[in-house]
Amino acid sequence: MVAGRNLRIDYRWAPDAGLLPAYAQELVALKPDVLFAASGTPLDALRRATQTIPIVFSQVPDPVGRGFVASLARPGGNITGFTLFEMSIAAKWLELLKQIAPRVETVGIAYDPANSAAASYLREIEPSAPSFGVKVLPFAVRTVAEIERAMAALAGESNGGLVVLPGPATSVNRSSITTLAATHRLPAVYPFQYFARGGGLASYGVDNHDLFRRAASYVDRILKGEKPGELPIQQATKFELVINLKTAKALGLDVPMSLLARTDEVIE
């Protein structure tokens, strides 16, 4: 298939999650052969807009637990796709922060309240905090102003650090987050490699570019006649640990060699 000849692609970009319900209705009204959701928040909007048009998703954690599909093996209905993380990865972000910055005592958790998975991540992080000798402070952030207030509050705590959870608001505002973390000298761990490549201290998560490529194969199969409910949900298999040594040096941190030895990408 070739775009403009026998393939038409319409898309909507919503930096404000409040726009998603209207955008979902607009796309459904076009009566496409298949819909694609880049993450859980737009998937939720599309699911509410149609129960008949096939939907392929990418970057969605726990699709069964969140009620998007009946099971991983046989999703049923009109939705299928590719998962992002197991929720247990949230505790690994906290562990990674303590490995890089062992003096951290207070960890701010920046999350997008529009992301329905945020509560599940927090439920993984909060019980594990005592085992790492830290207390956690959740901060709901939607805008740059809210991010600025959260960072200022966290900077006032003793030996503060930061874990950023996945979500539309945190991804869209990643430049502001990494810049403010550097300004307030807060060690921070992020869910995707583009945070670390953009100046963040460290990231651990899936290769989301790989997920998008794999999701395209499901779109192709549906366009050729296969049913989404019969295409099994596929889980992420490729994870990346990225550490920005330039940022670590600016924060006065010595990254352990044992951690560097298993790092997929080191930025110097």
Across the range 5-16, mean pLDDT stands at 85
Task: Tell me the C-alpha distance between 136 and 147, whole Å.
Answer: 16
pLDDT at position 238 is 80
89-206+240-267: CATH topology: Rossmann fold (3.40.50)
Residue range 46-61: mean pLDDT, rounded = 94
Looking at the chain, the domain(s) classified CATH 3.40.50.2300 span: 17-85+207-237, 89-206+240-267
Q: What is the sign, positive or negative, of the torsion defined by CA atoms of 27, 22, 12, 82? A: negative
Query: What's the number of CA atoms in the CB half-sphere (13 Å) around residue 249?
Result: 6
Alpha carbon 251 to its chain's center: 25
Report yes or no on whether pTM surpasses 0.75.
Answer: yes
Instruction: Tell me how far apart the 2 most distant CA atoms of the chain are, in Å.
Output: 60
| Domain at 17-85+207-237, CATH from 3.40.50.300, 3.40.1550.10, 3.30.450.20, 3.40.50.2300 | 3.40.50.2300
What is the mean pLDDT of the segment spanning 31-37?
96
Q: What is the pLDDT of residue 154?
A: 95
Predicted pLDDT at 134:
96
Q: What is the pLDDT of residue 88?
A: 84
Beta carbons of 242 and 265 less than 8 angstroms apart: yes
**pLDDT greater than 80 at residue 212:** yes
What pLDDT does residue 2 have?
66
Residue-wise pLDDT tens digits, 131-174: 999 999 999 999 999 999 999 999 999 899 999 999 888 988 99
